[in-house]
A and B are shown apart, each in its own frame.
Chain A
């Protein structure tokens, strides 16, 4: 793929240079060196070197804020995805957070000879079936659990919560031991080959499992399956996020929610919100819990602020500033809990709280919980709390 192909495919030639993208960009606000408008302009002028070797190429959060506001409908996030793939063929891989450990793990996982032990967390408290119609896609949570333990993230909680919810609805989902990373991070850091390997593997095992529906708790896995997989592999199943499933089955038997007297606010993950347009289901679910008062942050839904690092690249001072900004916004609402439905938003917010403590700046401490984890905690009697 050449730069011209990228321009054609993403309709970048329609760019009016109006600068709405740079005006909407959360990164541009903190780092004036980064401007989506200039990136597109460079591509249109054929300045490939300026584009692929720019550090800022990997700064984009692919949060879709610019894409939604672009009057010419330039697919800027796709432009970034494709240009990064082009850059990676020229040896540019961005400054990956955690030195690229997480991308490295995904690449190791892509190896066909790997036999994972990813379901060891599954205890007797959960019912899962070997065969059935519904598959629950766990994602990278079993890897995030040890990796992010030190910043207080229990990465498996969303998966455990989702299982509890599914079980309460009378669904015993299929969990696959040889499921692999969905490839989201590799795709968005330019490793198209690694992404394809993972996608092909997942498509094959899902076909073999013969399921009709896949449920996700991770917004990124969901987006990747819905938007990126169809371009490479075929997945012949209905795809649903746990919030959609919950919202559809709120009136069903078995889902008895205890009263939870709490004021909460919901942070829209870019992948679920702007990428897929799912704003209402998570809110409906939260409002269905008796006693819950849902308050909105100043910027919500389409205008929601990103958690400031995507695909674990270029996590820098700007990212920290954006996170603090978002956490303060959450605190201003007076909410007791910040709820999100993307494991990475949770990781990034908790990281900002750990590294930007009270002594260094404004107090940004607020409990962060995953939607599935929160709903599961409201399910059933108190004595049913596991582990």
Chain B
């Protein structure tokens, strides 16, 4: 807990085949992780449109996590490679906008890595607590 009691809000776009299953595994294995994350299941990390991320920041989220299958393991062969390219572009946009690079995170988490998913969330929440609230937060939506 940081001094102001700031609890970051995170939205996670997890792919149906790997990362969402990993989140599920973390749950069924009763692994504890901070409740700061709202998970949205998407069919593939490659379908995460830049606007999803931008809208998340507009809505006042402090961090966005996009999680998919490891490179080479994508259920749709190369969706995660597309996600990687798209995130690189988005990073440059967010950098120009003055957001810290850490606010957008890309992770590859396989369906077997339930504990990995929990660890990622724990680490990310810690990192965002250090960073503080997103400058994109509006009073009304915060």
Contacts and interface: CB of A to CB of B under 8 A. Distances in A.
Same complex origin of A and B: yes
Interface string B111-142: 00000000000000000000000011110000
A101 B96 contact: no
A117 B51 contact: no
B114 to A, nearest CB: 32
B30 interface: no
Interface string A85-122: 00000000000001111001101110101111110100
A149 interface: yes
A115 B96 contact: no
A150 B50 CA distance: 14
Interface stretch (B16-24, B35-43, B52-60, B68-76): B52-60
A181 B57 CA distance: 18
Nearest to A140: B96
B93 A104 contact: no
Contact of A100 (B51, B57, B92, B138): B51
Contacts of B54: 101, 104-105, 108
Contacts of A101: 49-51, 54
A178 B49 CA distance: 27
A109 B58 CA distance: 10
Chain A CB within 10 Å, residue with most, of B89, B95, B98, B136: B98
Contact of A143 (B51, B96, B138): B96
B52 to A, nearest CB: 8
B3 interface: no
B97 interface: yes
A111 B138 contact: yes
Contact of B136 (A99, A108, A143): A108
A142 interface: yes
A2 to B, nearest CB: 26
A107 B96 contact: no
A126 interface: no
B115 to A, nearest CB: 35
Contacts of A145: 92
A143 B93 CA distance: 6
B93 A146 contact: yes
B57 A98 contact: no
A117 B91 CA distance: 13
A29 B137 CA distance: 44
A222 to B, nearest CB: 22
Kindly list the 6 A-B residue pairs having the minimum CB-CB distance in the complex, ordered from nearest: A146-B92, A104-B54, A99-B51, A113-B135, A115-B98, A101-B51
Interface of B: 49-51, 54-55, 57-58, 89, 92-93, 95-98, 135-138
Interface of A: 98-101, 104-105, 107-109, 111, 113-118, 120, 142-143, 145-147, 149-150
Given A114-B135, A116-B97, A146-B92, 9 more contacts: A98-B50, A101-B50, A101-B51, A108-B97, A108-B136, A117-B95, A117-B97, A142-B96, A150-B89
16 contacts: A98-B51, A101-B51, A108-B57, A108-B58, A108-B136, A109-B97, A111-B135, A111-B138, A113-B137, A117-B97, A142-B96, A143-B96, A145-B92, A146-B89, A146-B93, A146-B96
